[in-house]
């Protein structure tokens, strides 16, 4: 596995993004909605850099992709908070095609927040298939499949403290069950 971002680089990038977020919202109360499970570590690290009154809600987004048809996104809102008339920041691990975040933003907009913005740890360059862009991005990365710092490959590797690119031999080695 090749390390793309070290623990220190990740921390610096998340701190810098937190500063931009703090600058945008000031002391106003913020509702953070994190898309599970990939943004778990980002959520924990980011909110500890933010000092405004802050609430945290969680949603889970899963896409079911059958054949070549584009995926239908299902959003589980069991741990969501009431966001009506709130300033809301959606956070996700990675903006790839952008379809997941766009769908989530459309769904959240239906709940009538006062404002709605998005923050992602990673923006994969050259992959976007939607016209929207996240409002806050910690890192732009090349088009490689990455794991660690919350991101998984078949539910593994989320616990790596750094971000790594999976190489062909990593894909071949089966996980112990």
From Mg ion, ligand 5GP, none, interface partner of 98 (C-beta below 5 to 8 A by class) = ligand 5GP
Please, what is the minimum distance in Å from the beta carbon of residue 146 to ligand 5GP?
4
Please, what is the minimum distance in Å from the beta carbon of residue 86 to Mg ion?
23
Please, what is the minimum distance in Å from the beta carbon of residue 84 to ligand 5GP?
25
Calpha distance 142→24 (Å, rounded): 27
H or E segment and range at residue 36:
strand 30-36
- Extract the tokens encoding 170: 């990593």
Query: Which residue, 38 or 113, is less far from ligand 5GP as judged by CB?
Result: 38
| CA dihedral sign, ordered 20, 25, 30, 35 | negative
From ligand 5GP, Mg ion, none, interface partner of 151 (C-beta below 5 to 8 A by class) = ligand 5GP
φ, ψ dihedrals at 156, nearest 5°: -105, 170
Strand partners, 2: 165
Residues with catalytic roles? 96
Query: Which residue, 86 or 150, is less far from ligand 5GP as judged by CB?
Result: 150
Q: Which residues bind Mg ion (CB under 5 A)?
A: 38
Query: Which residue, 86 or 157, is less far from Mg ion as judged by CB?
Result: 157
**DSSP letter at 131?**
S
Please, what is the minimum distance in Å from the beta carbon of residue 85 to ligand 5GP?
28
**DSSP letter at 156?**
B
Instruction: For residue 17, give Cα distances in angstroms to 43, 76, 119, 130.
Output: 12, 27, 8, 23
Query: Which residue, 87 or 103, is less far from ligand 5GP as judged by CB?
Result: 103
Across 69-78, b (16+ Cβ under 10 Å) vs e yields eeeebeeeee
From ligand 5GP, Mg ion, none, interface partner of 99 (C-beta below 5 to 8 A by class) = ligand 5GP
Calpha distance 145→103 (Å, rounded): 22
Q: Which residues bind ligand 5GP (CB under 6 A)?
A: 38, 92-100, 145-147, 151-153
């Amino acid at each position: 596995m090749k390390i793309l971002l070290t623990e220190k680089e990740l921390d610096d990038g998340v701190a810098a993004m937190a500063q931009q977020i703090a600058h945008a919202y000031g002391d106003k109360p913020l509702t953070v909605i994190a898309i599970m499970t990939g943004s778990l570590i980002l959520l924990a690290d980011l909110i500890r850099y933010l000092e405004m009154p802050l609430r945290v809600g969680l949603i889970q987004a899963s896409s079911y992709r059958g054949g070549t048809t584009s995926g239908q996104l299902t959003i589980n809102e069991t741990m969501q908070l009431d966001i009506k008339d709130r300033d809301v920041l959606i956070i996700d691990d990675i903006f790839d095609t952008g379809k997941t975040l766009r769908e989530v933003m459309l769904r959240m907009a239906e709940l009538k927040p006062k404002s709605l913005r998005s923050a992602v740890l990673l923006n994969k360059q050259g992959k976007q298939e939607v016209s929207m862009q996240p409002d806050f991005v910690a890192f732009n990365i090349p088009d490689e499949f990455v794991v660690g710092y919350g991101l998984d490959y078949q539910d593994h590797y989320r616990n790596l403290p750094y971000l790594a690119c999976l190489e062909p031999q990593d894909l071949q080695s089966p996980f112990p069950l």
